[in-house]
Structure 1
């Protein structure tokens, strides 16, 4: 995947409004801050959970990249599950690169034939991960990084979604990717504070230069 993206859609979790019987879609403010600081030249927007109608929405907004954000476990939010399945169908048909974060990574892994298994000690914790040689080749990432994890399920088996790109100390797979296919999965949250996955890795995955093309007044998070 060599072309650079210009318009990214970020999926949202399902949320319940307090004191209202009104389902809502929600995206953490952390994403707005992170995108503004680290991908300032890219236009982006939150993507509502429209199930099958989401493909027309994506076409109208001329999306050419996706971020599947974190949130509910796969299978725990039927409307979101169907929406993201439709988006992934569209991404495969149109060649859009997809970054999956936490839940999003789990979806990519499952879609490629992998399995999810419970893993202890990965909820609301800081963890060290080591990048693999594959990550060095694809994203110029190497060494050890500290990340923030919030997931109850880990990745098992093999998946067409990508090769291993990072492992935690306990041997569990924490990141994977395939540049030719345009898939990058992270089981941690780069948008939450100083995360081990640098903005540079995400920028390279989306075909952008190592540093933002537009200067901002905000310091970079990594």
Structure 2
């Protein structure tokens, strides 16, 4: 557990990457447990093992803290090195989301958005994260386009929206495992569609 540090006038906003990671991880756990409205900075600080003033120095509001915490989990899910093909990139993202979906914190956060998703502060958080979320799909699709894999007019946001919706439905509504065979079926359906290819005449 990260230990609390003594306050001082020359102290940085938050010392050390380990402290930042600890606070963000504690925020995710507490938000999953208590919900957005029930989340208190004091509880996050206690869970992270730091003084609450340490948290307030870097994140003056709960909204800013939750935003950065959600950005950290999104980054973990969406950061993918170029695997050499669009199929492998999509599978890598799907596997990471499947791994996160097995964690209690991720499931709690999903329930949070289902129950409190219409809250104006949460809506503002999601909107502020949109640019960060869309950067990864754009980069993956640009790499695929350079390799000549893409059909003209493909919308990267729509492709990733459908991928995420299918994964969340399987995880949280159907309560079914995201096994490797199912992930591959999903990605292949997204890439190749359900319609039979027209036969070419000889």
TM class by shorter chain equals under 0.3
TM-score (norm 1): 0.25
Q: Would you tell me which structure has more strand in proportion to its own residues?
A: 1
Higher-Rg structure is 2
